[in-house]
Chains A and B, each alone.
Chain A
Amino acid sequence: MLRTFRLAVCALSAVTALVSTGAVAGESRVPKPAITIENPGKCVAPVDEMRRNHMDMLKHTRDKTLREGVRGMKTSLNGCIECHASKKTGSVLGNENFCQSCHSYAAVSLDCWSCHQPKANFKATGALPAGHDSPTGNASTAGAKQ
């Protein structure tokens, strides 16, 4: 019994050692996040602060804006998207792109995008939802322009 336990401990520490040396040497099986900063130097706060606190900043803004109606705050999710969306795909989502690549690496789930639009400058098409019959044709552009 004791012997099996000792064996197991040995095996486990060997594996741990292998994994940690691999990580130190940058040979981890998990690829590093591919972060391309499209507009460097224009962020609302220094990189270190953003890395540590972006979630709190976003949450603070979200509650202030939605529940109290405060607009034009320094941080905003749409602000992040406008700046950080990939020039190729226009989105912050996708394995190579700003939000998702880092979140995949850190294994932190991203819940923003089930509701928010991840693409910069996106304009939804004005197709009528199901169930609406439109006898008067498409008057759709009137309301959408600002």
Chain B
Amino acid sequence: MTERNQTEKNSDKSTAARRNFIGAVAAAGGLAAIAPGIHLVQVSQANTPPRPAGEAASKAVRWGMLIDTTKCSSGCNDCVTACATENGINETVKDARQGSQWIRKIDIKEVKTGRSHSLPMMCQHCANPPCVDVCPTGASMKRADGIVLVDRHICIGCRYCMMACPYKARSFVHQPLTDQNPEVPRGQGCVESCTFCVHRIDKGQQPACVETCTKAGHNAMLFGDLNDPNSEIARRVAQVTTTQVRADLKLDLGVRYQGI
């Protein structure tokens, strides 16, 4: 355990240094090549350069999301729509209970006081994910940078991870699919959930939900590297009180909520 922490710290330092360097290069190159269409907001959030080809995801990074529920309005579904478009979740199912939901909006109201909030709920990308623990084949897995994924190549569709997930974040695909997006394979008989738009993150982009929320001016979602003390999300998390849903389980979530 200690040994692992040690190496983690060491690699932390070197990777941080490398990331800063790459960041500087990318920023310099990016400024020259920047297209007029790109919003400034994106630049300010784009603290995450694309990972070079051939390089594996790094343990030094811990991707995370901060959701400001005070800015999230009930009835707004922009993040959900963006997710559906990006990830090709477009199938029609006869029974809505059999449909997939990678991200959903939840309205909560305190019973005693009537105080209410709205918030998006999705895979919380736990550091200690119960779905990974219970998966019989190892299909449910956590990538080095903290993203929890389903390896559908070895998923047998037993649904034990759905039993284990405290957030109802996982869906089972109940029917054959044909209209997948090329970068987001998904299909019948396997379990799936939010991937933090891993295919976008690896290119240095934000997850679709976050990008849309920001572009639409809601600014309720912030994405970044929780391990990088200079990232906006790390600074915000250090400044404001944030909540982890079902913190009693001590799963160390990648998604944090502010204002509930």
Contact = CB atoms under 8 A, between A and B. Distances in A.
* Chain A directly contacts chain B within the complex, with at least one CB pair under 8 Å: yes
A109 interface: no
Interface string A122-143: 1111111111111110111111
Given A69-B144, A125-B90, A129-B101, A135 B212 contact: no
B81 A126 contact: yes
Interface residues of B, number: 65
A142 B82 CA distance: 7
Contacts of A125: 90, 179
A143 B57 contact: no
B216 A116 contact: no
A117 B76 contact: no
Nearest to B58: A69
Contact of A69 (B85, B179, B180, B202): B202
A55 to B, nearest CB: 12
Contacts of B93: 129-130
Contact of A146 (B95, B203, B216): B203
A41 to B, nearest CB: 23
Interface of A is mostly: loop
B56 A123 contact: no
A113 B97 CA distance: 25
A95 B93 CA distance: 29
A132 B188 contact: no
Given A128-B81, A130-B96, A131-B99, A114 B187 contact: yes
B159 interface: no
Contact of B53 (A63, A72, A134, A143): A72
B82 A140 contact: yes
A7 B75 CA distance: 80
B81 A139 contact: yes
Given A114-B187, A132-B77, A146-B203, A67 B151 contact: yes
A71 B101 contact: no
B99 A69 contact: no
A22 to B, nearest CB: 37
B90 A129 contact: yes
B55 A70 contact: yes
Contact of B57 (A62, A69, A114, A123): A69
Contacts of B202: 69, 71
B86 A143 contact: yes
A64 B202 CA distance: 14
Contacts of B133: none
B99 A130 contact: yes
B77 A126 contact: no
B227 interface: no
B200 to A, nearest CB: 7
A66 interface: yes
A42 B71 CA distance: 51
Contact of A140 (B55, B85, B179): B85
A130 B85 CA distance: 13
Interface of B: 51-57, 75-78, 80-86, 88-93, 95-101, 104, 141, 143-145, 147, 149, 151-153, 176-177, 179-183, 185-190, 198, 200, 202-203, 205, 208-209, 211-212, 215-216
7 A-B pairs closest in CB distance: A72-B53, A69-B57, A143-B208, A143-B82, A126-B85, A115-B187, A124-B88
10 contacts: A66-B149, A67-B151, A71-B202, A116-B185, A124-B179, A127-B90, A130-B95, A138-B81, A140-B84, A143-B85
